[in-house]
Amino acid sequence: MPIFHSLEVKSWNDLIFGVSKYPLRYGFNLEVGRGEVIPEIKYFPKRGSDRDLETLRKEYREITEGVLKRTVNLGLKSIQLETEQTFVITKDPSLSGEITNIQKSIMERFFEEFGLKSALRVTVADIRELGGDMRGAKEVELIFESFDKAAENGADILSIESIGGKEVFNYSIIRQDIEGILFSVGILGSLDMEFLWHEITRIARNHKVIAGGDTDCAHSNTAMVLAGGARTSIISHTLAAVVRAIGAARSLVAFEQGAEGPGKDCGYENIIIKAITGRPMSMEGKTSAPAHSSLVGNVAAAACDLWSNEQVENIMLYGGSAPQVFVEILGYDVLLMNEALKSGFGPILRDLLVAANPFDPQVFVLSPEGAWRIGKAIVRYAEDYYLRSKEAAQEALKIILNNYQKRRHDIPPSEARLIRNIQIFLNEMPGNYSAFIEKCVNKYKGKVKNFLTKNYEL
């Protein structure tokens, strides 16, 4: 399995939308990262529709037909679909295969009739219970069986949003406890991903499909949402940015276990992973507003290869079903990006996307320059989950301080206090992996009820 000791992308200026060092071709002749951005539509059945399985099957047929019809009517040539499975689907692997087959059959028809290039990403739900047996319970078996059935029935890309470490993270984030955050995301999250992705990539290879990637939704996106907007927040925006940097060190594990991309859209840290691996990435930003708000709606597109929308429920709007409407929104976004690439204005549009966001620490770490610097910090300690997570956090702080100084903005007092506290903590942390693990296990084992060391083989 690859260990990344250096960056595949040699300059931050080479990070740009639609272009990857290692482009991919899969599905019905879909090419990603080869000079144009592809829309990736993500949808969810109407609430309650999974109470009746025939209704659920019918809904996925209608969603798939609807978004592909809208795609060809807009004159778009390519699209990727992402089905994020409900818990009901993942718990029934035969249903996982059946719904995948239904969707892929419709996509094949549109390819034959209209030449529409397309592919299907299937994201299996992480149905494990925090505090339960996260390595040997029935739910683990069902997750892997659902991957297997989806791949067998036509899924082109396999993904998951894994939850390892979230029990300690939930305890730590509301206390702004950087020690618990680094332990939960950088160590526990990475160890859990190592376990999951070893098997996911095996399943993908067995069926000759692509292992796509994970996302740090469980940690980094939680922090982003808690950080809130410019006027309201529960936690510090600087802390959310630092969590994102640590989250990149965690999400890299999928690629170290053999994933090839495209990284999954709700991993905002994917731009850092792209700098390290050179692999194509899906991203979401302003188009994820139906699911959550953020301050990074434009910068997220700066280096995307697929441009996605986060979950949108299959409800009716004046312009059609919500998934159809979002196909159109995504479609026009990617037409603009692709025209900019063709006409030589790609770098200008990218830089405008970076500039056209609120002034916020989270923007700094997700800009191409910031992401590239964090990636470079991570690969300095490529084989040590602890040191690379610590290094990512330290580099994120440097980037944040540099941006405040460069733009001559005063650091808000609350953010300044937190920066000082994190710096002091990082400087005083144990010097090696084993000492840090021992310290954290002793600290959190009694405090966090659901934290079981056996789930991480500690």
Over residues 55-91, the pLDDT tens digits come to 999 999 999 999 999 999 999 999 999 999 999 999 9
CA-based nearest residue to 41, from 321, 414, 458: 321
Model pLDDT, residue 50: 81
| Average pLDDT estimate for 428-457 | 94
Over residues 111-130, the pLDDT tens digits come to 999 999 999 999 999 999 99
Instruction: Report yes or no on whether pTM surpasses 0.95.
Output: yes
Residue 188 near residue 249, CB atoms below 8 Å? no
Over residues 237-266, the pLDDT tens digits come to 999 999 999 999 999 999 999 999 999 999
Helices (H), 133-236: 138-152, 166-173, 178-181, 190-207, 222-227
- Rounded Cα–Cα distance for residues 47 and 43 (Å): 12
Sort residue 156 into left (φ over 0), alpha (ψ -120 to 50) or beta: alpha
CA-based nearest residue to 250, from 345, 179, 338, 184: 184
User: What domains, with CATH codes, occur in the chain?
Assistant: 12-456 (3.20.20.70)
Model pLDDT, residue 431: 84
| Average pLDDT estimate for 318-341 | 98
Backbone angles phi, psi at 19, to 5 degrees: -130, 125
52 or 306, higher pLDDT:
306
Judge residue 112's burial from the number of C-beta atoms within 10 Å of its C-beta, 0-12 exposed, 13-18 middle, 19 or more buried: exposed
Average pLDDT, the chain: 96
Burial 152-184 (b: 16+ CB within 10 A, else e): bbbbbbbbbbbbbbbbbbbbbbeeebbbbbbbb
Return the structure tokens found at 113.
């009739």
CA-based nearest residue to 183, from 451, 362, 443, 440: 440
Q: How many residues does the chain have?
A: 458
H or E element, residue 346 = helix 346-355
- Rounded Cα–Cα distance for residues 27 and 31 (Å): 9
DSSP helix/strand/coil, 144: helix
Taking residue 2's Cβ as centre, other Cβ atoms within 10 Å add up to: 11
User: For residue 191, what pLDDT band results from cuts at 50, 70 and 90?
Assistant: very high
Q: Please calculate the CA angle 79-83-89 and round it to the nearest 5 degrees.
A: 160
Return the structure tokens found at 455.
């789930």
Contacts of 67 by beta carbon, 8 Å cutoff, 6+ apart = 41, 43, 79, 81, 323, 324, 327
pLDDT at 1 exceeding the cut of 80: no
Q: Say how many Å lie between the first and final Cα of the chain, rounded.
A: 22
Which DSSP state fits 447?
Answer: T
Judge residue 447's burial from the number of C-beta atoms within 10 Å of its C-beta, 0-12 exposed, 13-18 middle, 19 or more buried: exposed
Residue 273 near residue 213, CB atoms below 8 Å? yes
Q: How far is CA 401 from CA 235, 359, 365, in A?
A: 18, 13, 11
Model pLDDT, residue 376: 98
| Average pLDDT estimate for 285-313 | 96
Percent of the chain with pLDDT over 90: 93
Backbone angles phi, psi at 34, to 5 degrees: -105, 35
| Average pLDDT estimate for 23-30 | 98
CA-based nearest residue to 300, from 418, 221, 390, 397: 221
